[in-house]
Amino acid sequence: MFSSFSADLTVDKVNRPRPKRKQVSRACDWCRLNRIKCDDSQPCQNCAKRGGHCTHNREKESSLSLPAASREIRQLRQQVTKLQEQLNLAIQHTTDPTPAKYTSPPESNGTTQSTTPHHENSQEASSLPVPRWEGIRIPEGRQSALIYYGPLSSPYFADRMSRHLWEKLGELESNHTSLLLDSQLTLPAGNFLLSSGLDQDTANLGLEDDRAFEELSRAQEEYFLDLLWQTFNCIYPIIIEDEFREHYDSLWRTSANETKRHSSTLVDSILAVCMQYGSNFLTSDGHGDISGYHVEAGSRSSYALYSRSQKLILDELETPSLITLQSQVYCAVFLYNNSSLNAAYNYLRTAAGTAETLGLNSQPSDGLPPRERQLHRRIWSTLFTLDSQISMVLGRPPLIDRWEIGHDLAVDSQEDSILSGSKLICPNNEDITWLSFHTQYFRLVSLVRRVQNEFEARCVQLLERKSTRTIYEDPFSLEELAGFLAQKARIVYEWARNVPESLKIPRKGSGEPLSTERTPLNFDQFSPIWLQRQRLVLEIVYHHLQLSTFRTFLRFPPGSSSITPLSDCHSINCLNHAVALTRILHQVLTETDLLRGWSAIFQYQWDAAIICRLQERQLKKCENRASKPRSSLRDFTIPCHCGGPRRETTLAKVKRRLPGQ
């Protein structure tokens, strides 16, 4: 009996269910470290007994559990669905023909207006589409006509700056906005007879006819014409030297009056440019003149020759020739050097039409001699570079499209140099010809124009997507544009690395040419003057074009660098180019005469000066010593006498606000 009872007890003990162990989602840190059982208490029993801190956190526990994560995913999916529905609804509203109202951007103290006209109480104002990236309109001239400047132009940047100083800092008087804008296009002192719009009465100038100025003798004319080959022809190679000399000689040889030559559109326009440039080496007190010729007579005669050339060109427009086109190019150069950029822009339109009439925009005919074929290519590419450079300064669409260049560029081989008929010979050890600058200059301007056009197009796309009027409203959008520009700008730096060494200005020490390093220039006194000038112009134009590309990212006031690192990098890059440009011009103008009389560099220096003024804090970060750039800006107008009194006044005001002044 006992044996059967024992068996029954054993069976009951084996079949009894084992109680389920209570588990927790995650043990606290102390229990997990000691590998002991934990519980869901808060704090757990083990930590409560030992009186220590328990890391149990029910919120943390629930967020780390799998069911909680699943619930969070479902909630996020629901939110995404709702946001997608709102986005689709917003897109339907923007494409709906129902008119939407947009507020106008703030005006600049009455001196500028937006490109969208104000129509109060008008249905047109309420039916405007999402606007493009707007420029500004500035009242200029006697009639106070509103002149348009694009968002990448120098006046647009000056307007942004002046508004910031006026509204935030209170550093400008009421008339300083127009002063900053007008100083962009003021005249060199040597050309005081002209207004910025060339609208001054000829009666006031005493130029009612061609006899109002004193005719030059042949010796005086040849003195100024000799300046052409070392200055403008090596920059704008559109003249064949031996043919021009023969043409000029025939004007005197066939003249019945030995003291007066026959009139010629080409000679008059070239002589006007050379006198405009050469007058900067003359003085108004009779010192440093040529045969009693002084600066006032030079300025008066240069404008008279330009005016006479204009009249002759009008008579030839119906049946233009290559000489007509060459004259138009030099008339545009005359206006450009006179800081009459609007007039030069409009005049280039006529010159481009003449070039197309002559067929220069297409492949030259095989029946033309090789010399003329190369000349046609150089003239057309010169028109392209002039048009691109002036268009970028004014922020307007270029007149000549890049794809209209239907033929290859004029190459710069030794054969082409010989065909050009020029007497400019490079040293034997140089790897270039006198035409190499023209090729590199064309490539630089073409690449920068491409970068700016693509950047502006991307800005317009972003503004339309965001339904905003300016890129500065959203820092994240600005950072997106900065990344886009960083990719596109690589081709310009690649160009700088591939420039022939003979076209680069060497630096003292281990400095790198075509860079923003602070090392001084090392002038090669044994190189020809024209070659030194080509090197300088190429580097100065490079820095100015880079400056104008990156200054879009200068903000007033500066934003937080933590959320816009690329934008701030572009701002610093712009400042570096401005400082490099200022230092180069200061050294060149104080140590040499290579750029004396080149009026365009004062536009470049003005753009650099206001950037250095406004970004002085970044300047201190970029420079170990900030005194050198301030010294360069302080002494800039001392060796130069063609910057214009108004611009010198504005620069003086800028310099007084620099640190340490």
Summarize pLDDT for 166-224 with one digit per residue, the tens. Answer: 776 555 444 554 545 554 544 444 444 444 334 443 333 334 444 456 678 888 889 89
Q: 410-419, 497-506, 527-536: lowest mean pLDDT where? A: 410-419
Q: 405 and 441: one domain?
A: no
pLDDT at residue 57 greater than cutoff 80: no
Which of 513-520's residues contact partners 24+ apart within 8 Å by CB, and which partners? 513/539, 514/539, 514/542, 515/580, 516/543, 516/573, 516/576, 516/577, 516/579, 516/580, 517/580, 518/579, 518/580, 518/583, 518/623, 518/628, 520/583, 520/587
Q: 414 and 507: one domain?
A: no
Is position 559 within any domain? Answer: yes
Q: Do 125 and 106 touch, CB atoms closer than 8 A?
A: no
CA dihedral 91, 93, 95, 101 (to 10 degrees): -120
**Hey, is 215 helix, strand or coil?**
coil
137-167 as b/e: b if 16+ CB within 10 A: bbebeeeeeebbbbbbbbbbbbbbbbbbbbe
Q: 464 and 583: one domain?
A: yes
Q: 334 and 261: one domain?
A: yes
CA atoms within 13 A on the CB side of 230: 14
Q: Return the pLDDT at 236.
A: 94
Q: 440 and 415: one domain?
A: no
Q: Return the pLDDT at 23.
A: 63
Q: 162 and 229: one domain?
A: no
**Hey, is 518 helix, strand or coil?**
coil
Whole-number average pLDDT of the chain = 75
Q: Return the pLDDT at 145.
A: 81
Cα gap 320→326, rounded to integer Å: 10
What are the tokens at 631?
């010294």
CA dihedral (460, 462, 466, 471) positive or negative? negative
pLDDT at residue 90 greater than cutoff 70: no
Task: Using alpha carbons, select from 624, 621, 633 the residue that is nearest to residue 658.
Answer: 633
Q: 175-179, 367-371, 480-484, 536-540: lowest mean pLDDT where? A: 175-179
pLDDT at residue 129 greater than cutoff 50: no
Longest pairwise C-alpha distance within the chain? 162
pLDDT in tens, 210-267: 445 667 888 888 989 999 988 999 999 999 998 999 999 999 888 877 778 888 999 9
pLDDT in tens, 456-500: 999 999 888 888 788 888 888 899 999 999 999 999 999 999 999
How many residues belong to the chain?
A: 661
Q: Do 573 and 611 touch, CB atoms closer than 8 A?
A: no
Question: Among the ranges 20-34, 52-66, 164-178, 546-560, which has the highest mean pLDDT value?
Answer: 546-560
Q: Return the pLDDT at 527.
A: 86
**Hey, is 231 helix, strand or coil?**
coil
Question: Among the ranges 155-169, 280-294, 589-603, which has the highest mean pLDDT value?
Answer: 589-603
> What Å distances lie between residue 145 and 138, 163, 174, 341, CA to CA?
8, 21, 21, 15
pLDDT in tens, 619-632: 454 444 334 444 44
Q: 386 and 449: one domain?
A: no
Residue-number span of the structural domain to which 247 is assigned: 200-419
> What Å distances lie between residue 263 and 13, 91, 170, 279, 351, CA to CA?
132, 66, 56, 22, 21
> What Å distances lie between residue 454 and 141, 234, 270, 405, CA to CA?
33, 31, 36, 19
pLDDT at residue 100 greater than cutoff 60: no
Q: 476 and 596: one domain?
A: yes
> What Å distances lie between residue 466 and 85, 105, 214, 266, 471, CA to CA?
18, 16, 62, 52, 9
Q: 509 and 553: one domain?
A: yes
pLDDT at residue 596 greater than cutoff 90: no
**What value, to the nearest 5°, has the Cα angle with vertex 364 and ends 363 and 369?**
155
pLDDT at residue 357 greater than cutoff 50: yes
Is position 17 within any domain? Answer: no
Cross-strand partners of 139? 146
- 96 versus 397: which is more confidently predicted? 397
Which of 369, 390, 419 delimits the end of a domain?
419
Q: 30-39, 148-157, 454-463: lowest mean pLDDT where? A: 30-39
Burial class (CB in 10 A: 0-12, 13-18, 19+), 639: middle
pLDDT tier for residue 639 given thresholds of 50, 70 and 90: very low
Q: Return the pLDDT at 21.
A: 61
Domains in the chain, number: 4
217-230 as b/e: b if 16+ CB within 10 A: ebebbebbbebbbe
Question: Among the ranges 271-280, 542-551, 560-569, which has the highest mean pLDDT value?
Answer: 542-551
Q: Return the pLDDT at 628.
A: 47
Q: 254 and 385: one domain?
A: yes
pLDDT tier for residue 67 given thresholds of 50, 70 and 90: confident
pLDDT at residue 143 greater than cutoff 60: yes
Q: Return the pLDDT at 551.
A: 92
Question: Among the ranges 57-71, 154-168, 252-266, which has the highest mean pLDDT value?
Answer: 252-266
Contacts of 66 (CB under 8 A, 6+ apart): none
Is position 356 within any domain? Answer: yes
Record the pTM: 0.73
Q: What is the distance, to the nearest Å, from the Cα of residue 574 to the centroid of all Cα atoms in its chain?
A: 10
Is position 121 within any domain? Answer: no
**Hey, is 130 helix, strand or coil?**
coil
Q: Return the pLDDT at 332.
A: 96
Q: Return the pLDDT at 556.
A: 76
Which of 391, 419, 447 delimits the end of a domain?
419
Which of 364, 385, 419 delimits the end of a domain?
419
Is position 190 within any domain? Answer: no
Cα gap 93→98, rounded to integer Å: 8
Query: Phi and psi at residue 636, in whole multiples of 5°?
Result: -65, -45
Q: 388 and 449: one domain?
A: no
Is position 226 within any domain? Answer: yes
Q: How many CB atoms lie within 10 A of CB 104?
A: 15
**Hey, is 491 helix, strand or coil?**
helix
**What percent of the chain is predicted at pLDDT more than 70?**
66
Q: 481 and 393: one domain?
A: no
Is position 1 within any domain? Answer: no
pLDDT at residue 514 greater than cutoff 60: yes
Q: 481-495, 541-555, 602-616: lowest mean pLDDT where? A: 602-616
pLDDT in tens, 289-307: 444 455 555 578 889 999 9
Burial class (CB in 10 A: 0-12, 13-18, 19+), 656: exposed
Is position 77 within any domain? Answer: no
